[in-house]
Amino acid sequence: MTKINVNRLQSGMVVTKPVVTKRGQVIASEGTVLTAQLIARLSFYRVPSVMVDENSIPDEQLAEVEILSSLDEEASASSELTAEPDATEPESTTPGRSREETASHKQKLQSTPQFQAFQTSYTKNMITLQNDFDQIIAGNVDHACAHLLQEASQLFASKTSLELFDMIHTMRSVDDSVYAHSLNVALISRAIGKWMQFSKSDLDTLTLAGLLHDIGKTQIPPEILNKQGALTDEEFDIIRSHAKLGHRILKNTDLDLRVKLAALQHHERFDGSGYPRGLESDEIDTFASIVAIADVYDAMTAARSYRAPKCAFQVIAAFESDGFQKYNPKVIFTFLQRVAACYNNSRVLLNDGTAGRVVFLNKNALSRPIIETDEDDMIDLSSSENKELFIKAIL
């Protein structure tokens, strides 16, 4: 493991320690293969150095690599790159199955021209999103929103649902608490709107609602927003205030009312258990209810300091557990059916180490399909005899 100045990084080097900005945003997780676009993003966030695997450094450069000297204590406190506990994916427990095998789908996807083009556009969006947020907060709304919508729509274009969700999941190396999340929620919301056969105009409005739903988080102190430990009650209340803060930023603009309501209502729940107003059922705007589902899905499939990311079928199971009460029924049924369909015929790993392929979706239990194992056995996860089994990962 070698520390290399960011301006000496090269594409193909492998990160051995999560790269975190001063604000606590994770730019690259352990095991990420660096690309030119990701290196440019590291420079944008003024990351000074990165820990990389020596075996990934080209032989001709290894002898010339400048290893940074130890930083003094003060510099370490402000710019040292530190790992987030439990933020990386756990090793596969499948007998005879290596980590490389379970990661093969992700690695193959990363090597395709389609993903590399998506990554370039996604990284560009990440950089401009922050600038556009600043412009909106300053009152320059029209140009910034038009630019946001144009970039996100281009990122969404010409993708199948599976391609889009796969690419979003594979871009987890640039996950953060505001900007990457907002972009992901916009793309997922647009997919839901497309599944619900929205008009082009409504799809654009819904995409903008997803992009701006968390703009209020820009007003939350970074030390609270990015805190790794448990929040105090006071800190939790401050975090929850982002819905009202976002609405305050947008309410006097000429934006579509549904965009403003998405910022205010995306934490409201159909059973009245949400915030900030405890709204119920049809009191919640439809666009806000779509953004709410996209928001939860993206949060649950992202790594957190206290858990590994959940796979799509685990999230579907969570929605099945309580989502029919908490979320707009028409939206949640459409969403779960279409997401599950994305991963029909996919290779999966069960919690007991069994690997196989999804061959049939159970409509009454979408998170528990029928699996054809590598040993040619059939496992119906909806059967009572298999109630302890569940899909742990999509391979």
Closest CA to 343 of 156, 182, 160, 207: 160
Q: How far apart are CA 98 and CA 219, in angstroms?
A: 44
Name the nearest CA neighbour of 65 among 15, 7, 12, 118: 7
Q: Which residues contact 387 (CB under 8 A, 6 or more apart)?
A: none
Indicate the range of 78-92, 148-162, 311-325, 367-381 predicted with least confidence.
Answer: 78-92
Per-residue pLDDT of 324-376, as tens digits, reads: 789 999 999 999 999 999 999 899 999 999 999 999 999 999 999 999 999 98
| pLDDT tens-place string over residues 10-50 | 888 889 988 887 666 677 888 888 887 777 777 766 788 88
152 pLDDT above the threshold of 60: yes
Residue 126 confidence (pLDDT): 76
| Mean of all residue pLDDT scores within the chain | 82
User: Is residue 267 within 8 Å of residue 276, measured between CB atoms?
Assistant: yes
Q: Is 340 exposed, middle or buried (0-12, 13-18, 19+ CB in 10 A)?
A: buried
Name the residue among 242, 241, 263 with its Cα closest to residue 252. 263
The whole-number average pLDDT for the span 262-283 is 96
The pLDDT tens digits for 215-266 are 999 999 989 988 878 889 999 999 999 999 999 999 999 999 999 999 999 9
In degrees and rounded to multiples of 5, residue 242 shows phi and psi of -65, -25
- Top-ranked range on mean pLDDT: pick from 105-109, 119-123, 174-178, 296-300: 296-300
Length of the chain: 395
- pLDDT score for 113: 77
pLDDT at 324 (0 to 100): 78
- Return the HEC string of the chain: CEEEEHHHCCCCCEECCCEECCCCCEEECCCCECCHHHHHHHHHCCCCEEEECHHHCCHHHHCCCCECCCCCHHHHHHHCCCCCCCCCCCCCCCCCCCHHHHCHHHHHHHCCHHHHHHHHHHHHHHHHHHHHHHHHHCCCHHHHHHHHHHHHHHHHCCCCHHHHHHHHHHHHHHCCCCHHHHHHHHHHHHHHHHHCCCCHHHHHHHHHHHHHCCHHHHHCCHHHHCCCCCCCHHHHHHHHCHHHHHHHHHCCCCCCHHHHHHHHHCCCCCECCCCCCCCEHHHCCHHHHHHHHHHHHHHHCCCECCECCCCHHHHHHHHHHHHHHHCCHHHHHHHHHHHHHHCCCCEEEECCCCEEEEEEEECCEEEEEEEEECCCCEEECCCHHHCCCCEEEEC
